[in-house]
Amino acid sequence: MLKAAVWLFWKDLSLELRGRELLLPAAVFGLIIAMLYGFAFDGGQQALRPMFPGLLWLGIFFSSFLAVGRAFGVEAEAGQQLLMAPIDRGAIFLAKLALNILLTLILTAVLTPAFAMLLGAPLPRSTGLFIWTLVLGVVGFAAAGSAMGALTAQTRLRELLLPALLLPFTSPLLLGAVNATAALYGKSSAQLGSWLWLMAAFDGIFILVPLLLFEYLTEV
Amino acid sequence: MLEAKDLRLQLGDRRVLRGVSFNLKPGRCLALFGANGAGKTSLLSLVALQRVPTMGSLRLFGGEAAVDNLALRRRLGYLGHEPGVFLGLTGYENLLLYARLYGLGDAKERALGELRKVGLAPFRHTLVRSYSAGMRQRLGLARTLMHRPELLLLDEPHQSLDRRGQDLLDRLVTEHCRAGGAALLATHETERALGLATDIMVLSRGRVSYLAPVAETPRATFEEAMAEALGGGGLC
């Protein structure tokens, strides 16, 4: 399965590098959100600073949604043919997951400094733990997005169904990510461990369950 | 190679197939005729393991057909309404990807060989996005044949092809059947299909209205069966 996943990831990456259909619009959208936050909330950077964790993660989630949500859609018809190939369909999920993680990591690497600058956020107390928090949030969102993307890929109301499923399902992850980030910017990080564990559990569930059930998720 | 018994398929409240039975033996090519909506594509999708029949039995290569059977998928070659290739990859990259997914040892050689066979070797490094519809169909045909499937499932394979492309397709399918493979093709290209097929099946509203070898079917009988099927229509 891993070998097939590597070939499929190569295919997905080649398509994205040539088409730039996913990352570029998502990055532009994320930066626009950051700017709009700056305009929309009154009171300057001082007032926005406490809201930085929430605004950052909403920005990452909404802009990543554009990339992750469309990853299955850009190849709908040819992707159907892939289902005929004699490979474990979990490989298709793994490849898509790897692409979505990569795209969301790049987006996060672009958006985090942009948000920090525009909202006047200082450096977190621990850069290492902050990076861990970002990675756990990104992986969880990419995994849930890949699973829901596959589930809704062939439905008629896909554009409506995907956000309706993905955003509520990822709310525990959002809660964990925002609180973990807030702990890293606040005075006490007593709860940080619990939030990171919540995020890690979310990631584990949304990687393993779709991987095991992907054959059934893709059945017509 | 293929035994279908009383296949039924219901999609929503529409009964698409209403008890289709037929056999397909090695070396035979069965042409499937019928009006739009008669159930041709649905029947192909069942044999291609893309759908599960609502009722009835489907046996492939002597065993019960199961959607998750990887070994069965390897023995099938399916070319649907669309060529099933990635527009953002080159022709060569598309075939290389499928050669690797099918675990073909000499993937690079196989991909190149198939491109030569369908006349696309000079365009192997061109993105499929820039191919014409006919070139994409040729590439789809190469993808379908590359892993040497035993059973070919072709849905309107002549569409988008020019006369030379159609001749090429007919030649490749004939060679495939002569080599012991079998083919099931849904088509509206009557003359081409009658020249290519060994057997004819006419579907009308999800039922088999005519099934016989081409050699035993007088032209008038075929035309009568077709007129009846087209008169009976497909879309309910």
For tokens 């298709």, the residue is A92
Q: What is the pLDDT of residues B6-35, one digit of tens each?
A: 999 998 888 999 999 999 999 999 999 998
User: Could you tell me which residue, B90 or A43, shows the higher pLDDT?
Assistant: B90
At position A94, the amino acid (one-letter code) is L
CATH architecture of B2-75+149-232: 3-Layer(aba) Sandwich (3.40)
Q: Mark which residues 204-223 of B lie under 8 Å from A by CB.
A: none
The helix or strand, by DSSP H or E, that contains position A76, with its residue range, turns out to be: helix A76-82
Contact B201, B29 (CB under 8 A): no
**Minimal Cβ distance to A87: which of B67, B78, B101:** B101
Q: What is the pLDDT of residues A211-220, one digit of tens each?
A: 888 877 776 4
Q: With an 8 Å Cβ cutoff, is B49 touching chain A?
A: yes
> Of B147, B138, B194, which Cα lies nearest the Cα of B169?
B138
Cut 0.80: pTM above it: yes
Q: What percent of chain B has pLDDT over 90?
A: 64
Nearest Cα of chain A lies from the Cα of B25 at a distance, in angstroms, of 22
Total domains, chain A: 1
Q: What is the pLDDT of residues B65-105, one digit of tens each?
A: 876 678 888 999 999 888 989 999 999 999 999 999 999 98
Q: What is the pLDDT of residues A68-112, one digit of tens each?
A: 877 776 666 677 788 888 888 889 889 999 999 999 999 999 999
User: What is residue A84's DSSP assignment?
Assistant: T
B62 backbone φψ class: left, alpha, beta (φ>0; ψ -120 to 50) = left
The predicted structure's pLDDT at residue B81 = 83
The predicted structure's pLDDT at residue B236 = 45
Q: With an 8 Å Cβ cutoff, is B148 touching chain A?
A: no
Q: With an 8 Å Cβ cutoff, is B11 touching chain A?
A: no
pLDDT exceeds 90 at position A34: no
The reply to whether residue A11 touches residue B86, judged by beta carbons under 8 angstroms, is yes
The reply to whether residue A78 touches residue B68, judged by beta carbons under 8 angstroms, is no
Nearest Cα of chain B lies from the Cα of A39 at a distance, in angstroms, of 39
Per DSSP, the residues of B116-152 read HHTT-GGGTTSBGGGS-HHHHHHHHHHHHHTT--SEE
How long, in residues, is chain B?
A: 236
B154 three-state secondary structure = strand
Q: How far is CA B127 from the centre of its chain?
A: 25
Q: How far is CA B171 from the centre of its chain?
A: 15
Least confident of A37-46, B9-18, B30-39, B45-54: A37-46
Contact B60, B2 (CB under 8 A): yes
pLDDT exceeds 70 at position B205: yes
Handedness of CA B87, A63, A120, A200 (dihedral sign): negative
User: Could you tell me which residue, A44 or A178, shows the higher pLDDT?
Assistant: A178
B200 three-state secondary structure = strand
CB atoms within 10 A of CB B149: 20
Nearest Cα of chain A lies from the Cα of B221 at a distance, in angstroms, of 37
Burial of A130 from C-beta contacts in 10 A (0-12 / 13-18 / 19+) = middle
Alpha-carbon distance B228 to B34, whole Å?
A: 10
The predicted structure's pLDDT at residue A43 = 60
